[in-house]
């Protein structure tokens, strides 16, 4: 059976919002075609032979991810998703009772659950860093918290799912390094929309998703592990990829970041991730950042001009994640209405509400993230749809 090559694709990714522009040639086309080509090769020659044929290209994915982050290829692990990348890093830290973990108030809820488990398991303290007046991690507070000593890990998400903020990663990295703490940056929402340079940021660990701003396939993610710390981080799980069984009761763990990988993986997905990273690198991360920023500002301006709509984003520096509420409509009603108009958006719940003990919780919002390939006309469609709801 012949499978036709794709001429046009709709975005196959979720998590950040996208517009229904079926028929338009989107940047995901190269990604989708790469995945399909490998699946067809697997069908023809079988999974093992197909992986052998793809070996050189698989290696290039490490180089591409390293180039994206200004890292070295041996500092990259390719894993199933951003959550698993983050987990592998976090659960590799052998905490001692009484050690402290500092995190942002806007931390991703899965990370929050892992902190709670570590609290139960090791008796660590988990302390949210106060926000500054813009909703970003307050650097003065962080400095004071670090000065009290005992901080083993600073774990912060760069761009939270909710409310558009971009946390000052490099400044956080500088403070964490000065205090001798490990710095784990969750870059799930920033990778692909903001230039990331792990040397400048000073993070020891960075987790990333393929499926969001990179527009890669679902089920792909990667982890950066600095050479400086990799030897001291034992993976929470070992398999034949991560380690070699060297004797009757001996094994040796790989020396590089691939100790955090699994042997079995979705080769087509990994190749698709490589295509997505190469696509972003070809376009350039700085031009992407600028275009996403312009589109997001335009959308915020348009939303703010609609009666009853409140843009909920915070941050002196903002991302492409645009969040809003409308008087008299729940976030779900707005999302349903937008979907009926062919615009995909999501309901977002602020994780800072869980760290916030004040009675006035931030509301549920609509999240309508923009990507560099969105057009001004698409933003107008969203604005019209919100206006008509």
Ligand X SMILES: Cc1ncc(COP(=O)(O)O)c(C=O)c1O
Binding residues for ligand X, rule: CB under 6 A, are 15, 81-83, 108, 157, 160-161, 186, 188-189, 209, 211
Q: Choose between 82 and 270: whose C-beta lies nearer to ligand X.
A: 82
Shortest gap between Cβ of 171 and ligand X (angstroms)?
19
**Residue nearer to ligand X on the CB measure, 160 or 302:** 160
Radius of gyration of the chain (CA): 21
Under 8 Å CB-to-CB from 28, ≥6 apart: which residues? 9, 11, 12, 13, 215, 276
Strand pairing report for 250-253 and 243-247: antiparallel
Task: With CA atoms as reference, report the closest residue to 183 among 113, 105, 104.
Answer: 104
| Shortest spacing between CB 351 and ligand X, in angstroms | 9
388 sits in which H/E element: helix 376-388
| Residue with smaller CB distance to ligand X, 309 or 324 | 324
Q: With respect to ligand X, which residue has the nearer C-beta, 224 or 383?
A: 224
Q: Say what angle helices 376-388 and 331-340 make with each other, to 10 degrees.
A: 120
Of 221, 118, 205, 224, whose CA–CA distance to 156 is shortest?
A: 205
Least spacing, CB of residue 281 vs ligand X, in Å: 20
* C-alpha angle 311-315-317 in degrees, rounded to nearest 5: 115
The angle, 0 to 180 degrees and rounded to 10, between the axes of the packed helices 376-388 and 285-304 is 30
Q: Is 388 exposed, middle or buried (0-12, 13-18, 19+ CB in 10 A)?
A: exposed
CA distance 187 to 346: 20
Give 17 or 66: the residue with its C-beta nearer to ligand X: 17
CA atoms of 153 and 156, how far apart (whole Å): 10
Cβ nearer to ligand X, comparing 50 with 365: 365
- Nearest distance from residue 224's CB to ligand X, in Å? 15
Q: Give yes or no for a contact between 182 and 212, defined as CB atoms under 8 angstroms apart.
A: no
Output the smallest distance, CB 89 to ligand X, in A. 12
Residue-wise DSSP of 112-168: HHHHHHHHHHH--EEEEEPB-TTSSB-HHHHHHHHHTS-EEEEEEESS-SSS-B---
29 or 107, CB closer to ligand X? 107
Nearest approach in angstroms of CB 118 to ligand X is 17
- Shortest Å distance, C-beta 219 to ligand X: 9
Min separation Cβ 321 and ligand X, Å: 9
Which is nearer to ligand X, 64 or 83 (by Cβ)?
A: 83
């Amino acid at each position: 059976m012949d499978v036709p090559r794709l001429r046009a694709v709709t975005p196959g990714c979720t998590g950040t919002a996208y517009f229904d522009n079926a028929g338009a040639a989107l940047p995901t086309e190269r990604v989708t075609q790469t995945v399909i080509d490998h699946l067809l090769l697997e069908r023809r020659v079988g999974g093992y032979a197909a992986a052998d044929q793809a070996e050189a290209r698989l290696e290039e994915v490490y180089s591409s991810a390293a180039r994206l982050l200004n890292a070295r290829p041996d500092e990259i692990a390719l894993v199933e998703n951003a959550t698993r990348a983050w987990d592998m890093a976090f659960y590799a830290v052998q905490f001692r009772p009484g050690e402290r973990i500092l995190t942002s108030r806007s931390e991703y809820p899965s990370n929050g659950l892992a902190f709670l488990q570590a609290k139960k398991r090791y008796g660590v303290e988990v302390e949210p860093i106060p926000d500054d007046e813009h909703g970003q991690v307050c650097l003065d507070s962080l400095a004071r918290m670090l000065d009290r000593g005992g901080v083993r890990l600073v774990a912060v998400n760069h761009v939270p799912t909710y409310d558009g903020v971009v946390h000052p990663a490099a400044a956080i990295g500088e403070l964490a390094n000065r205090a001798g703490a490990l710095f784990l940056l969750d870059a799930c929402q920033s990778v692909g929309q903001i230039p990331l340079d792990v040397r400048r940021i000073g993070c020891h660990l960075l987790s990333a998703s393929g499926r969001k701003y990179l527009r890669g396939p679902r089920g792909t993610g990667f982890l950066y592990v600095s050479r400086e710390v990799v030897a001291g981080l034992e993976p929470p799980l070992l398999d034949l990829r991560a380690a070699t069984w060297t004797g009757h009761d001996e094994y040796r763990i790989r020396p590089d970041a691939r100790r955090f990988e699994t042997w079995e993986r979705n080769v087509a997905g990994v190749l698709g991730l490589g295509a997505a990273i190469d696509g972003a690198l070809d376009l350039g991360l700085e031009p992407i950042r600028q275009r996403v920023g312009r589109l997001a500002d335009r959308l915020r301006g348009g939303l703010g001009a609609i009666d009853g709509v409140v843009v909920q984003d915070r941050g002196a520096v903002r991302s492409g994640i645009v969040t809003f509420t409308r008087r008299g409509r729940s976030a779900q009603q707005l999302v349903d209405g937008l979907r009926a108009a062919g615009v995909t958006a999501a309901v977002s719940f602020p994780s800072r509400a869980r760290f916030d003990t004040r009675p006035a919780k931030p509301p549920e919002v609509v999240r309508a993230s923009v990507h560099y390939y969105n057009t001004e006309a698409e933003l107008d469609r969203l604005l019209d749809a919100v206006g008509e709801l």
